[in-house]
Amino acid sequence: MFNKILIANRGEIACRVIQTARKMGIASVAVYSDADRNARHVKLADEAVYIGPSASSESYLVVKKIINAALDTGAQAIHPGYGFLSENADLCRHCAANNLVFIGPPVDAILAMGSKSAAKKIMANADVPLVPGYHGEDQNPAVLKQAADSMGYPVLLKAAAGGGGKGMRAVYAEDEFDQALAAAKREAQTSFNDDLMLVEKYLQKPRHVEIQVFCDQHDNAVYLFERDCSLQRRHQKVIEEAPAPGLSEELRQRMGSAAIQAAKAINYQGAGTVEFLLDSSGAFFFMEMNTRLQVEHPVTEMITGQDLVEWQLRVANGETLPMRQDQLTIHGHAFEARIYAEDPDNDFLPSTGTLHQLRAPIESNHVRIDSGVVEGDEVSIFYDPMIAKLIVWDSDRARALKRLTDALSDFCINGVTSNIPFLYNLASTAAFRSGDVDTGFIEEHQDEIFHRRQEDLDYAAPLAAQAILAKRAERSKQLAEHSLEPSSPWHLTDNWRTTGIEQHSLAMLINDQPVQLKADTSVMPAGIKVVNNGEHHFSNSSDFNLFTPQGVFHCTEAQANLGLDEDNHSSGNLAAPMNGTVVTLLVEAGASVSKGQPLLVMEAMKMEHTIAAPTDGQVGEFFYQAGDLVDGGAELLIFVAADISAAL
Ligand code: ADP
C-alpha cells in the first residue's frame, strides 16, 4: 500500500479522504489556496502545500502545481476527490509521466465518458439502453431540428461537454426550437468552451437512479446497488437516498448488470457511477457515467457497510476488489441532505459570510456529518458554498426519514443563510414520506415546501401560540425563582388575572405573515420542537423556529397587539440584505422618519442597496458608520415603529 498520498481537493471531500488514509496508516498531503490557509482539510492532513491564489483556476485547477506538490512531498499517488480535476485527462496523463498513481480510472475511460455524445455511441454499441435521441457530429441547426421534430416534443437540448445542469434547455414545441438551441449553445460555449449539442427525448417526470460500480485491474467488477437522486432543483441533486424506494429486486439486478456492461465497455477501473433515468413503466435509459467518486457516495457506504475511499485506494494499489457481488448486501436505508449556504427563498442565491455559529447534530451509528468547515470559518465566493453533508441511516426508510428530519432540526447555523428549513420542509412532505419521487418533485410541491398555502398557516398558528405561551411561562418561572418573593403573581409576564382565568391574545409573524389569535393553554403537543434562533434554549428572544411534522415555521412574537393590525411591523427589515459596505447614513440617530424614507445606503457586488423605513417611526441607534464592512443579516440600526413607540 502507498505510504503517502496527496489529495488534490478541498472542503469536505478532502477531509473525507484524509480520514480513510489515516485509518489505513497512509500519510496525507493537503493542498491549499490563500482562502484556505486555515481550512479544516489543511489542519487534518499530515502535511500541506500552498498552491496559490484563492481563485481555483490559479490553484486547485492547475495540474502542474498539483503534480509538483506531490513530487516535492514524496507522495506516491493523487486522489482527486470530485469536481476540480477529478475527471481531467491531463492530470491523469501527468501522473503517469511522473510515476505517480492517479486514484481513478485509466485516461481512456475518462476520455470516453468526457463527452456525453461520444459516451452514448459507446453505450449503444454495448447494448446499454439509451434515452432516444440524436448524438451525431452534424451540428447543422436544421439537422438538429429535424431530429427533434421526428422524435416529437418535448425534447431536451444538452451540451455534450455539459455538467452541473449547464447548457441544457427543454423545448416544448417546434417553434421554440431555434431560440432554445441558440441559447443552449451560447451557455455551453461560455461554460465549457464547446457547443456540441445533443438532442434527447425529454422524459416526463422520470426518476434519477444511478448505480455505483467498482472495477479492479484484474477484470473483476461489482455494483454496490443504486441511489435515487430524483430530488433536484435545476437539475442538481438536493437529497439522495439508497436504496431507491420501491425498486424491485429484479429491476435492481437488471440496472446493476447494465451498469457493469457500461463500465466493461470502456475497460473501467476504480469507482464509477452510471446514471440512468427510470420511467414509470420501469424502463430505464443510460444518461451518463461519472468517472469519479460522487458527492452522494456516503449513502451507499451506509447501506453496504463499506468504505468506498478504501476500495479506491486498494484498487489503485493493484489489489483485487475487497468483495464479490454475492458478498454484497443492502442493509437498511440511508439519506443524504446537502446543506448549503444559500437562500432558497431568493432563487437559491449563494450566501457568503462568516459561520458565526455552526452546531451540527451529534454523530452516531445513525447520523454522520461530512464537513469541511468549522464554526468561525468563512463561506467565500470562491468555492461551492456547501457547509456539510448530513447522512442518516436506520433499519428502514420511515425510520431513516425520521432520523433525517430530527437531525436537520438539530442543526444550528448562523452568519449565513442556510437551506436547512427548505430541506426540512422537503423531507416532511407526505409525498416524499411515501417515496413518491421524480425529478419534477420540488417544482410540483413548491407551495407546500415554501408554505404558500393558507392551510399551512392555519396549522402553524396555534402551535406557534402554544410555543409563545410556553416561553412566557418559562420566563415567569425563572423570574420567580430569582425573586425574594417567589410566589408573587406580579412576576408573571403571561396574562395572569386575579380571577384565575387565562386568556391570551397573541400577535405574531409566521413566515413573515401577521397572525393574531386567542389562546388559553401553554401545553405543547408532542413531536414539535421549538428552537430559538441562535440559541437552543428558551431565552427572552421572541424569534424562533418551530419544527413540526408539516415543516418548519419561522415565528416572531409581537409585543401585545402592536404593529400587526396593518401591513407594517417593526422587526426584521433593517438587517443588511447581504455582505457589503455601508456607503452612507442618510438620517441622524433619533430622527423621526416616514414610511419608505431612505435611511442608509449599502454597496455589495458593485451595486447599491437602499435601506428604507418599513413604516413611520423613529431611528434609534446606527450600529455601523460609512465605510464599515457588514455581514449579510447583521442588524444595521434600531428602528421603532410609530404605533409601537406611541404605545410604550
Ligand atoms: P449534468 O451532467 O449537467 O448533471 P445530466 O445529463 O446528468 O446533466 O442530467 C442532469 C439531470 O437532468 C438528470 O438527473 C435529470 O433530472 C435531468 N435530465 C437529463 N436528461 C433528461 C431527459 N432526457 N429527460 C428528462 N430529464 C432529463
Query: 574-647 domain in CATH 3.40.50.1000?
Result: no
On whether the 133-201 domain is CATH 3.10.20.30, my answer is no
Which atom of ligand 1 is the closest one to the Cα of 285? 23
Q: Which CATH superfamily is domain 333-450 in?
A: ATP-grasp fold, B domain (3.30.470.20)
Q: Tell me the catalytic residues.
A: 292
Sequence-distant (6+) residues with CB within 8 A of 501 are none
Query: What class, spelled out in words, does domain 105-131+206-331 have in CATH?
Result: alpha beta
For ligand 1, pick from 123, 130, 168 the residue to mutate: most ligand atoms within 8 Å of CB: 168
Q: Cα of 105 to ligand 1 centre, how many Å?
A: 23
Separation of 207 CA from ligand 1 center, angstroms?
10
Q: Cell triple for residue 83?
A: 469536481
SS percent in the chain: helix, strand, coil, step 5: 30, 30, 40
CA of 206 to the centre of ligand 1 (A): 10
Residue nearest to atom 10 of ligand 1 (CA): 235
Q: List the CATH code of the domain at 4-103.
A: 3.40.50.20
pLDDT band at 554 (very low <50, low <70, confident <90, very high): very high
Residues 554-569: b if buried by 16+ CB within 10 A, e if exposed: bbbbbeeebbbeeebb
Same fold, 4-103 and 133-201: no
Q: Is 24 exposed, middle or buried (0-12, 13-18, 19+ CB in 10 A)?
A: middle
pTM strictly above 0.85 = no
Q: What is the pLDDT of residue 573?
A: 55
Per-residue pLDDT reduced to its tens digit, 591-602: 999 988 999 888
According to the model, what pLDDT value does residue 534 have?
54
Q: What number of other Cβ atoms are within 10 A of residue 537's Cβ? A: 8
Q: Which of 239, 277, 286, 289 to mutate to test the pocket of ligand 1 (most atoms within 8 A of CB)?
A: 277
| Per-residue pLDDT at 496 | 42
**Which tens digits make up the pLDDT trace of 327-354?**
999 999 999 999 999 999 988 999 999 9
Q: For a pocket test of ligand 1, which of 238, 287, 295 has the largest count of ligand atoms closer than 8 A to its C-beta?
A: 287
Domain ranges of the chain: 4-103, 105-131+206-331, 133-201, 333-450, 454-558, 574-647
Q: Cα of 302 to ligand 1 centre, how many Å? A: 26
Where is 428: in which H helix or E strand?
helix 420-428
Sheet arrangement for strand 592-593: 592-593, 617-622, 637-641
> Which pLDDT tens digit goes with each residue over 249-266?
999 999 999 999 999 999
For atom 17 of ligand 1, the residue with the nearest CA is 235
**Residue found by looking up cell 468517472 in the block:** 291
Number of the ligand 1 atom closest to the C-alpha atom of 237: 14
Please give the distance, rounded to the nearest whole angstrom, from the Cα atom of residue 289 to the centre of ligand 1.
12
Q: Which residues are near ligand 1 (CB < 6 Å)?
A: 131, 156, 162-165, 200-203, 206, 208, 232, 235, 275, 277, 287-288, 439
The identity of residue 52, as a single letter, is: G
pLDDT of res. 538 = 40
Centre of ligand 1 from the C-alpha of residue 234, in Å: 10
Beta strands in 261-385 (DSSP E): 270-278, 284-290, 333-340, 342-343, 349-350, 353-354, 357-359, 367-371, 378-379
Q: Would you mind telling me the total number of residues written for the chain in this entry?
A: 648
Atom 11 of ligand 1, residue of closest alpha carbon: 235
Report which of residues 628 and 576 the model is more confident about: 628
pLDDT at 567 over 50: no
Nearest atom within ligand 1 for CA of residue 232: 16
Q: Per-residue confidence at 495, pLDDT binned at 50, 70, 90?
A: very low
Atom of ligand 1 nearest to the CA of 131: 23
Asked if 290 contacts 80 with a C-beta cutoff of 8 angstroms, the reply is no
% of the chain residues with pLDDT over 90: 72
Distance 572 CA to ligand 1 centre (A): 39
Query: Which residue, chain included where needed, has cell 500519510?
Result: 27
Q: 504-510 and 513-519 as β-strands: parallel, antiparallel, unpaired?
A: antiparallel
Share of the chain above pLDDT 70, in %: 91
User: Regarding the domain delimited by 454-558, which CATH topology (the fold level of the hierarchy) does it fall under?
Assistant: Glycoprotein, Type 4 Pilin (3.30.700)
* Per-residue confidence band for 497, with pLDDT thresholds at 50, 70 and 90: very low
Flag whether pLDDT at 124 surpasses 90. yes
